[in-house]
Amino acid sequence: MKINMPITRETKQGLPTYRENIFAHKYIEYKGNATKAYADAYTPEHANTNAYLVLNRDRVKKKITELLPTDEKDAQIIQDAMNAQRNEKISWNDLHAYLETSLKLKGLLHQDKNTNQVAIIINES
């Protein structure tokens, strides 16, 4: 049974609420599907609209960023995959899906739906 709590409740020190934490975890689990994450964390009613509102809260964005693997972790996974033997337990499809989700959620991977081209954005500091 889900309890419908107001989505505008503030917390002390800008920390995410219990439901915002659930939303952040579900957002990553559902590979960036905010509507499904909202429906699980709150209620399916008005999930499309309310998911956008929750996702744009600074404390929720921060929590999602904290849950994502670091760039170093992504780089290590890519390196391990390049050096892996064929009999590894992780398939290329699973590895690709993991990295694609991570890069999309970080805003580093964009796909042109018209041409089906993929681009990785690299910021050099």
- Domain limits, the chain: 12-67, 71-120
DSSP 6-17: -TT---GGGPPP
67 contacts 28 by C-beta, under 8 angstroms: yes
50 contacts 42 by C-beta, under 8 angstroms: yes
**Token couple for 116:** 């089906």
**Token couple for 52:** 């956008």
Select the CATH number that applies to the domain covering 12-67 from these four: 3.30.160, 3.30.450, 1.10.10, 2.40.160.
1.10.10
Q: Is 46 exposed, middle or buried (0-12, 13-18, 19+ CB in 10 A)?
A: middle
Tens-digit pLDDT profile for the chain (125 aa)?
444 444 445 555 678 999 999 999 999 999 889 999 999 999 999 998 999 999 999 999 999 989 888 888 877 877 776 666 655 566 778 777 777 777 777 777 766 555 555 555 555 55
